[in-house]
Amino acid sequence: MMKKIGILFGQENTFPQAFIDRVNEKGIKDIKAEAVSIDMVEQAKPTDYAVIIDRISQDVPFYRAYLKNAAISGTAVINNPFWWSADEKFFNNALAEKVGVPVPKTFILPTSHRPPDTNENSFRNMKFPFNWEQMFETIGFPAYMKPHDGGGWKSVYRVESPEDLWEKHAETENLVMMLQEEINFTEYFRCYVLNTDNVHIMQYEPRNPHHLRYVIDGPPVKKEILDLVRKYCVRLNKALGYDFNTVEFAVRDGIPYAIDFCNPAPDADINSVGQENFNWIVENAANMAIEKAQQFKKGKMNLTWGTFVKDQITGKKTPLK
């Protein structure tokens, strides 16, 4: 039986075609990759695809619904559209802490604006004033303030003082913001993690302009740090169940702190990641998709779920800290 691999994508121009070409070049019997093509979506009807790599549904709700419908009809959707619709950075930080991966201290803040169709009665469980003092004491300044389910550096603020925080918080309208300890780092890494355990570590300098952030020929890094980074990448992605993710770490005093690790469609553009990293992600994503297509079982759900969810269902008790 032919098993098709589809890729669903948006504005990116380099990764999707390179991925399709790489899968097809391998010439594996009964495996073929192509761009997903949609002209009608009916409930509970399967798609033609054994596997779909989703690069865009975070921005297109119609695709999100299409992918969940594809998943219940058997398509192995990468990443699991149910899970990443449910998770967000604050929860994932809590999970990281529970599975023993260091993360910056973090609080969540009520929104600056009231959500639509609410009034003051909707907030009678909130105690005023909010306990800002205790939070400031725990987090310190400067601190980071960023959306609990954001991405692409949108609305990420570095705040210097309580006054600065409140001023910027007022600009965030309906976003739920996190207040986070700043990690003053000596090294920073961004890591591709495929299939929950295939890790590619990239040195990254977020303080550089965009096109110079992926460091080429950076200074050598201690093996102990790289080993820890690798271990934490696997631990996080096993718990979350992401098949195609990037995980960022800021290293302070030899400890890698996970900063950003729920990226359902991580940057894979040759112009930002560079040739070598691009080759890695194209090759390894192609191999992963082929493997998933070969494992595909007709008439079954073929999604990846993290141990956090699986253990709740099987009653297995994950050792939580």
Q: Which of residues 145-164 bind ligand ADP (CB under 6 A)?
A: 146, 150-154, 156
Q: For the sheet with 198-203, list strands across it.
A: 198-203, 187-194, 244-252, 255-260
ω into 129 cis (within 30 of 0): yes
Please give the radius of gyration of the chain, using alpha carbons only, rounded to the nearest integer: 21
Residue from 191, 260, 265, 266 touching Mg ion (CB under 5 A): that is: 260
Confirm if 119 and 259 have CB atoms less than 8 A apart. Answer: no
Q: Return the one option of ligand ADP, Mg ion, none that residue 182 interacts with (CB less than 5 to 8 A, by type).
A: ligand ADP
Residue 20, C-beta contacts closer than 8 angstroms, at least 6 positions apart: 7, 33, 34, 35
Confirm if 45 and 73 have CB atoms less than 8 A apart. Answer: yes
| CA 78-298-8 angle, 5° bins | 30
Backbone angles phi, psi at 65, to 5 degrees: -65, -40
* Pair of tokens at residue 72: 């219940």
Q: Which is nearer to ligand ADP, 89 or 230 (CB)?
A: 89
For ligand ADP, what does the binding mask look like between residues 175 and 194, x meaning CB under 6 A?
-----xxxx-----------
Count of chain residues binding ligand ADP (CB under 6 A): 18
Question: Shortest gap between Cβ of 66 and ligand ADP (angstroms)?
Answer: 25
Backbone angles phi, psi at 38, to 5 degrees: -125, 125
For Mg ion, what does the binding mask look like between residues 204 and 243, x meaning CB under 5 A?
----------------------------------------
For ligand ADP, what does the binding mask look like between residues 59 and 88, x meaning CB under 6 A?
------------------------------
Q: Packing angle between helix 15-25 and helix 275-295, nearest 10 degrees?
A: 60
Residue from 206, 279, 284, 310 touching ligand ADP (CB under 6 A): that is: 206
| Interatomic CA distance for residues 110 and 11, integer angstroms | 33
Question: Shortest gap between Cβ of 263 and Mg ion (angstroms)?
Answer: 7
Q: Which of residues 258-297 bind ligand ADP (CB under 6 A)?
A: 259-260
Q: Which is nearer to Mg ion, 249 or 296 (CB)?
A: 249
Q: Return the one option of Mg ion, ligand ADP, none that residue 183 interacts with (CB less than 5 to 8 A, by type).
A: ligand ADP
Q: Binding of ligand ADP at residue 248 (CB under 6 A)?
A: yes
- Footprint of ligand ADP (CB under 6 A): 104, 144, 146, 150-154, 156, 180-183, 206, 248, 250, 259-260
- Footprint of Mg ion (CB under 5 A): 260
